[in-house]
A and B are shown apart, each in its own frame.
Chain A
Amino acid sequence: MGKIVNRSSIRYLFRHPWQLLLSVLGIAMGVAVVVAIDLANQSAENAFELSMDSVSGKATHQIIGGSAGLPDSLYRHLRVKHGYRETAPMVEEYVTIPQSPGRTLILLGVDPFAERPFRPYLGNLRVNGEGGLGPLVSRPATAVMGGVTAREIGVAAGDSLEIQFGPVKRKVLVIGLLEGEDQRSNEALSGVMLTDIATAQELFGMPNRLSRIDVIIPEGEIGEQKLAGLKKLLPSSAEIISSRSRSAMMTQMTSAFKLNLTALSLLTLIVGMFLIYNTMTFSVVQRRQLIGLMRAIGVTRKEIFRIILGEALLMGIAGTALGILIGVLLGRGLVELISRTINDLYFVLTVRSFSLSWLSLLKGVGLGIIATVLAALKPAREATGTTPRLALSRSTEETALRDKLPLISALSILAIIAGGALLMIPGKNLVVSYSGILLLIIGFTLFTPAVMVFLSKLLKPLASGMFGMLGRMAVQGISSQMSRTTVAVAALSMAVAATVGVGTMVGSFRTTVIHWLEARLSADIYISAPSRMQRRPDTTMDPAFIERIGDLPEIASVNMFRSLLLDTPDGAMHVIGSQLSKDIFGEFQFKEGDPAALWAPLQNEMIVVISEPYAYHHNVKVGERLKIPTDHGEQTFQVAGIYYDYVSDIGTVLMGLKNYRQYWDDHRISGASVMLTEEVDASAGMTAIRSVMNPGEEILLRSNKTLLDTTVEVFNQTFMITNVLRLLAIVVAFIGVLSSLMALQLERRREQAVLRANGVTPKEIRRLVFLETGIMGAFAGILALPMGTMLSYVLIYIINKRSFGWTLQFVFDPAIYWQAIILALLAALIAGIYPAIRMGNASPALALREE
């Protein structure tokens, strides 16, 4: 095909700049959201890998201990006596920098002389001679940190810096800066602070203890022998795990969360596809005469197909390019939100990295272009069906659609049934679940024409009664141009339905959590050390401090707990040793088991209760046995109950504190709750507690109410990204509605010119336009409600359950439904503004003269 035909096609596009712009923008937004989420996910993963790289280095295995780590004599023993020389001792702890709030570093206490095989970036950590780091070893409280981070917080080599871990603050002298040789190295080093192992032991008050021992075991038979030999040498409290499986487990934790985000981002792209479909359909319909003429002149069907597809491809490429640009910018913002959520829910990410993953960009390019071409296939096929010259009157097309209505409705039912069936498949595969949702959405969308016909019939007498002739015309206008209006209504209803679905899900979640918390939080004051993770305490306090609280006259009773995250071969296990009074424990909401009856045995017997997500993720039922690695070797506990818990989706295993202390040589405390005596109020209680604090330590004291508020706030933060994505889907849908309404109205210029010529005023034309768009918005809103309700059911009972293992109560919030209808109406009305103005102001003569 030659240049001239292409020239005609391109000129056509540019003669309708608004339509072109909106379509490009629609694809761009779809692509942008997908790319942004993917980039953000990838960046978070990259950040995780980088921090693993900087922390684990080349270690193939790690020897880990129980609650208090490992004795450092074990390391010397393994190295000197048994010749395991590819080993390195490590004391590690997350620290925060009070002068730079929100920044968490991992402090690695290393033996620089054992580091060479492990963390090559420390390879030039020369200790001896000029420029060497002798003082790091020989001087107490000295540290080295990433140069980029140091500059960001205004620290130079030679400066002193305050660090905090849990309640404790300490000063270190920064004697050197680690400068990466490339961007990646700098990012990896940005989350690291290094000290000598002696310094770390002193800082964290753990002389003679190690957090872990890194090991390199070669691959192959020799390696296996070495590993087996090593295992025999370990005390019962220690365990050797492979670094790969450890990091795989950690990535696994976040995979459901990331998949949910990706699914949500794809929704935007699907809405974007509707937009393209719409635009291309319009451009074909508008050009029916032109295409007819071309066909008469001798342009073949194939060539017509190619022209239309080529146009779509052009828009796709432009939109994709723009989308990737926006996506990269958006991704920068989203990575912050995602990292924060990962920090709140799963593990501490010390590295803040935004990396442009080529694969993500490529995915964006592929999706953008493929989605566009797919969406344009049908219009392009339709275009080839254009009879040469003989401009088909529209009514034949509309009849065709009406004829197909039963078929489309049958397809719709089929899709809904198939989607439902997919969702019914038991198991934890989220991809299957989301495919089910997609089918359901398609099913509902295909219902749009039937519902619109039905609603139009219903509405016609009403509209003509309210608005007279104009009202009648508006309804007629919508139903007589179904092939065009359906798509716009479907796209809008889909986006609004997503809002209803996600909104209801989040609302249900929030309500469930608040109810649960209100039942749970019965004490007056809650005590904890500052923790880097919002959902799970990972810091501890001095038990003596808690004891002193118990002795205060203002205090009626103290309940404390120890929370410990264990690495087990099955993944992370969150163990809580809890000392609760029978009354408080009796308030726990149990899914299975009776808390009152379990209270006493939990203190002494080998039983535990587990949280619902734990039971779900690990397929554990009441009565089954659970193996838990303790400081005294692996112990078997019987599961006696399952309780509701919405704090962590990793799940928790709860036992009596007495029991905990029997199996773990650990008397530290993660948190405590305090009941005050009758006459003391919360603030007096807090003052009393503060009076017995260790000097210089920072302890968080929160009242019942504050804790509830902060928890809900954390919860809202977690769902911030969900809301952002929801909003973006609506923006795209809005662009879609705007674009199709504009095209629809502009196409009816002649019709309206005739009206004007017959004496209808511009004001009445405008009203007609608004009536039409308003009715379409209302249709979309009405259609969105059942679809949204269905979505929220699926999200709450299937997706959430399968992703996180939580049972949520479905909470119907009428406000969400009202808002949805108003949103749909508003979007449609706003989208009608420009066409209304244009139509109203258009000279009837001009419009009539065309053609």
Chain B
Amino acid sequence: MTNELIHLDGIAKEYQEGEKTHSVLSKLNVSIGRGEIIVLLGRSGSGKSTLLNLLSGIDLPSSGTITIDNKNLTALDEHERTMFRRRQIGFVFQFFNLIPTLTVRENLYLPLELNDLLDTENKARVDDLLTAVGLSDRGDSFPDRLSGGEQQRIAIARALIHDPLIVLADEPTGNLDYETGLQIVDLLDKLVRQQKKTMIMATHSREVIGLADRIFKMTGGQLKEITGEAMAWEK
């Protein structure tokens, strides 16, 4: 692949539970290109979140290497991985995305501040992005004043504001009704593509499949790409 951004090589992840070893991921080999939007399907507990955690450097694989943007993530220490995450990853979760003690605008300022990017220009971008997600008038509200859908829209804006390499989304619509979920997916798709970001979205809901460039399915610790016809069928 010419424009490879993420490369997983022989990734395995095991958890120790008492005496038993519980294997979540085994021998994953995947390559993801720049600008691709990936949908990760699978049932609860199939290892989707674990994979996202590995990709963001939150967790380390039991074996194998993760290379992102030519950087070997598995060779970094905790602090370096946090710094990598801070700069290069944008997160959208199922719920509890926003920091309740910060206003909407401050929530968006936070990644900028962490990356030392909080200048006038970027502050203006925050306002643009708030307009883009249709919440320009809610900047000074605290998150608990927002509906679930609104919170997710802010979360999307937060995930993009510091211009990361990759957006990771973990069940972003899981907590929303069908209609709202669709709106969120559309917004996510639109903004991510607009800004030419790479996105990996874990979900078990099929309505988001439509926007995927590639679809993977997680079963039994293995990742299986669904291609061609099967993909169309899935869609």
Contact = CB atoms under 8 A, between A and B. Distances in A.
Are A and B in direct contact (Cβ within 8 Å)? yes
A129 interface: no
Contacts of B79: 300-302
B53 interface: yes
B58 interface: yes
B180 to A, nearest CB: 17
Contacts of A4: 102, 106, 109-110, 113, 118
Contacts of A302: 79
Nearest to A297: B111
17 contacts: A4-B113, A5-B114, A8-B106, A11-B102, A295-B58, A296-B56, A296-B85, A298-B82, A298-B83, A298-B85, A298-B89, A298-B115, A301-B79, A301-B82, A302-B79, A388-B53, A388-B56
A299 B96 contact: no
Interface string B114-138: 1100100000000000000000000
B89 A389 contact: no
Nearest to B91: A296
A387 B58 contact: yes
Interface stretch (A26-34, A286-294, A702-710, A786-794): A286-294
Contacts of B110: 4-5, 8, 297
Interface in A290-317: 290, 293-302
B113 A3 contact: yes
Given A3-B113, A4-B106, A851 B95 contact: yes
A79 to B, nearest CB: 80
Given A389-B58, A389-B93, A851-B96, A297 B114 contact: yes
B75 interface: no
B174 interface: no
Contacts of B78: 301
Of the candidates A9, A11, A15, the one having the most CB atoms from chain B within 10 angstroms of its own CB is: A11
B194 interface: no
Contacts of B101: 7-9, 11-12, 15, 290
Contacts of A300: 79, 82-83, 86
Q: Which range contains the number of A residues in contact with the other chain?
A: 20 to 34
A298 B58 contact: no
Interface in B131-152: none
B45 interface: no
Interface string B55-85: 0101100000000000000000011001101
B97 interface: yes
B182 interface: no
Interface in A313-359: none
A2 interface: yes
A7 B102 contact: yes
B223 to A, nearest CB: 21
Nearest to B88: A298
Given A3-B113, A4-B109, A389-B53, 9 more contacts: A9-B101, A290-B100, A296-B56, A296-B91, A297-B114, A299-B82, A390-B49, A390-B53, A851-B96
A293 B151 CA distance: 14
Interface of B: 49, 53, 56, 58-59, 78-79, 82-83, 85-87, 89, 91, 93, 95-97, 99-102, 106, 109-111, 113-115, 118
A12 B99 CA distance: 10
Interface in A565-602: none
Nearest to A384: B78
Nearest to A299: B114
A295 B114 CA distance: 11
A388 B106 contact: no
B99 A8 contact: yes
Contacts of A8: 99, 101-102, 106, 110
Contacts of A293: 93, 96-97, 99
Nearest to B97: A293
B38 to A, nearest CB: 19
A4 B126 CA distance: 15
A21 B163 CA distance: 41
A304 to B, nearest CB: 10
A770 B82 CA distance: 44
Contacts of B102: 4, 7-8, 11
A2 B97 contact: no
A288 to B, nearest CB: 11
B96 A289 contact: yes
A2 B58 contact: no
Nearest to A298: B86
A298 B111 contact: yes
Interface string A371-390: 00000000000000001111
B49 to A, nearest CB: 8
Interface string A4-23: 11011101100100000000
B69 to A, nearest CB: 16
A297 B83 CA distance: 10
B111 A390 contact: no
Of the candidates B49, B96, B100, B102, the one having the most CB atoms from chain A within 10 angstroms of its own CB is: B100
A328 B109 CA distance: 44
A389 B169 CA distance: 12
A299 B86 contact: yes
Contacts of B100: 290
Nearest to A300: B82
A402 to B, nearest CB: 14
B66 to A, nearest CB: 16
Given A2-B118, A298-B85, A290 B99 contact: yes
Given A8-B99, A389-B93, A296 B113 contact: no
A2 B113 contact: yes
A301 B115 CA distance: 16
A391 to B, nearest CB: 8
Interface string A740-770: 0000000000000000000000000000000
Contacts of B89: 298
Nearest to B111: A297
A9 B100 CA distance: 11
Contacts of B58: 295-296, 387-390
A637 to B, nearest CB: 76
A190 to B, nearest CB: 55
Contacts of A3: 113
Contacts of B86: 297-300
A2 B106 CA distance: 12
B91 A389 contact: yes
Given A4-B106, A8-B101, A15-B101, A298 B87 contact: yes
A293 B95 CA distance: 11
A412 to B, nearest CB: 27
A3 to B, nearest CB: 7
Interface in A503-520: none
Interface in A757-814: none
The 5 A-B residue pairs with the shortest CB-CB distance, nearest first, are A298-B86, A11-B101, A2-B113, A388-B58, A8-B101
A297 B107 CA distance: 11
Nearest to B93: A389
Nearest to B108: A4
A5 B113 contact: yes
B61 to A, nearest CB: 15
A388 B79 CA distance: 13
